[in-house]
Structure 1
Amino acid sequence: MDNFDRSKLAPPDDAAMLPWYRGAFSHGFVALHPFFTVDGLDPATCDYGTLVMSGSDRPDDVNLLEWMDVLGAERRAGKEIPHGSLADITKRFASRIRWQTICQQLNLPDHRALDRALRTNILGLRRDLEDRAAVERLVTYCRQERIFLPTEGYFQPTMEADLVSLFQRAGLSEVIVGDEFGEDEIVVSLTTLADCSSWETRDDLPKWGARRLIAPDRSLLAWVHWDSFYTAVFGTQERMRDIQIGESFEGFWCSEETTTFWLMEDAVPIVQ
């Protein structure tokens, strides 16, 4: 057996999540990162979303970090709303849009197809798994309707308030906030996390970003995967029964086979 503390870490990418957590948690929920709109804001005027880079496009005389800075500066040029300001605005004023609504508008069969399109859009899939046609429809529709796409790899500002409420409904007053790898963990009051500042813009949370929320009694865990458009919530049977997670987030319950690449698995129905 390994020495991983399963009550506070995410499983390996290729591991079925529920079996991996056996002995720590009995139930898991995949909360989909929502699409959203903000009245009066056009995504085209905002510094928002993943900076997509393809190594084959990098000039030979520029190293990766320098090239990233160049692309970042190009994307920020002429934008009215910088990234940090948008995160705070989103937390306060965004209206969420369900994946099921986007699927209906684009005639996609289910959330797996939409996940495939989102991952394709950030160059996060092998070529044989990509769906470029779906990406084109998705990007065109969202541009026309001024809809912000969800992002991967961090807790969404649109979900932060509900994540706080989730842990509060579990009877908790504080939570351990950790980075992705377990190197930096800070105990934080849930009341503090509930204020209007997005977690990505705060300097009182882990230096490399808030990527895990851990109940001090190890009964509840939320985490994000660096390349995925969802927040996973795992807990004990007692905790998951009490927090009514399906009322807060669009998503689905993990099956025994669910891995982080569930787009390649049998569809698990969305909780209505």
Structure 2
Amino acid sequence: MTDRVIPTPEKFASCPYDEKILPFYSGQFDCVYVLLHPFFKPANIDIKRFSPPTWPSKREIIDGCHPVSWHEVLELTGLKTLSDIDIGLRTSIGGIKKELANKTISDKLAELKDQSIFQPEEGDLPPLLENRVLNAVKELGHSWLWVGNEFGTERKLHWIDDLIAKDEIPTHGCVFTHDHSLLVTTHWDSHCSFLCSSRKVIERILSLEPFEGFYCTRETEVYWGAYEI
């Protein structure tokens, strides 16, 4: 019997898992910007809605929540670095090796709920970023985007305005342009997404939308909080 081996996903439509980010995309993208998923505070949504059975829709969150940046979280918690927040968030979901976890930091982040500040979800491009990213890509002149799954086995072409209006990006999904020049993807155990393209394109996007985050170096790992940013 012949084993069924899934082909390696194309780099323009896939996400690294536990490795250095820029080397993974070598030959496809020369620049990657880490988009930090904002914490959020409901403004006109009952906080009791934020549980799996009643979780608000994408549009409700966009219209009814305020983003809270990671730098604001540093001020609110007394933590020192973005890496601290990354480690704390990963610890809270059991998404990091025990020797790298830090429950003290995780507990500090959990205390933000007393101020009605919620942690970002892991593995999903959040509503408070999604349409901002899509509109910035649209400003670059793109009208269509491919949306694929994390395994590179399924993809569908979408009119970008339909993506903005609806909620079509799957968990751990990959969104990429038809010419393979730009990719937005979210690692399944991370509270950030990777914006991959050329330096020129990413700088143009950041001039349109100053997303909180940082550029990867050659040493930046997927689990970047535990290593060198």
CA distance 1:256–1:245, shift in 2 (3 Å): farther
Is contact 2:10–2:152 with CA below 8 Å preserved after alignment?
Answer: no
1:117 counterpart = 2:88 = yes
1:254 counterpart = 2:216 = yes
Is contact 2:124–2:188 with CA below 8 Å preserved after alignment?
Answer: yes
| Amino acid aligned to 1:38 | P
Q: What is the CA–CA distance in structure 2 between the aligned matches of 1:260 and 1:192, rounded to whole Å?
A: 30
User: CA offsets, 1:156-194, max 9 Å, x none?
Assistant: 011111111121122101100111111110100111111
Aligned twin of 1:19 = 23
Aligned twin of 2:185 = 223
Aligned twin of 1:133 = 104
Q: What is the CA–CA distance in structure 2 between the aligned matches of 1:150 and 1:266, rounded to whole Å?
A: 22
| Amino acid aligned to 1:39 | A
Q: What is the CA–CA distance in structure 1 between the aligned matches of 2:207 and 2:218, rounded to whole Å?
A: 19
Which runs of 4 or more aligned residues in structure 1 lie more than 4 Å from their structure 2 counterparts after TM superposition? Answer: none
CA distance 1:241–1:105, shift in 2 (3 Å): closer
Aligned twin of 1:156 = 126
Aligned twin of 2:148 = 178
CA distance 1:117–1:229, shift in 2 (3 Å): same
> SS at 2:12's partner residue?
coil
Q: What is the CA–CA distance in structure 1 between the aligned matches of 2:176 and 2:225, rounded to whole Å?
A: 26
> How far off its partner does 1:88 sit?
3.1
Aligned twin of 1:91 = 62
| Amino acid aligned to 1:248 | P
Aligned twin of 1:57 = none
Percent identity between matched residues is 26
Paired residues, number: 223
Is contact 2:172–2:188 with CA below 8 Å preserved after alignment?
Answer: no
Q: What is the CA–CA distance in structure 2 between the aligned matches of 1:225 and 1:128, rounded to whole Å?
A: 21
Aligned twin of 1:7 = 12
Q: What is the CA–CA distance in structure 2 between the aligned matches of 1:111 and 1:39, rounded to whole Å?
A: 25
| Amino acid aligned to 1:30 | V
Aligned twin of 1:58 = none
5+ residue gaps, structure 1, are 49-71, 77-81, 200-204, 268-272
CA distance 1:176–1:86, shift in 2 (3 Å): closer
| Amino acid aligned to 1:132 | K
Is contact 1:117–1:138 with CA below 8 Å preserved after alignment?
Answer: yes
User: CA offsets, 1:124-148, max 9 Å, x none?
Assistant: 12222221112222112x2221112
> How far off its partner does 1:223 sit?
0.2
Please provide the CA RMSD for this pair: 2.1
Q: What is the CA–CA distance in structure 1 between the aligned matches of 2:136 and 2:185, rounded to whole Å?
A: 13
Q: What is the CA–CA distance in structure 2 between the aligned matches of 1:229 and 1:187, rounded to whole Å?
A: 26
Aligned twin of 1:189 = 159
After superposing the two structures, state which structure 1 stretch, 31-40 or 236-245, moved more: 236-245
Aligned twin of 1:41 = 45
> How far off its partner does 1:47 sit?
3.6
Is contact 1:30–1:230 with CA below 8 Å preserved after alignment?
Answer: yes
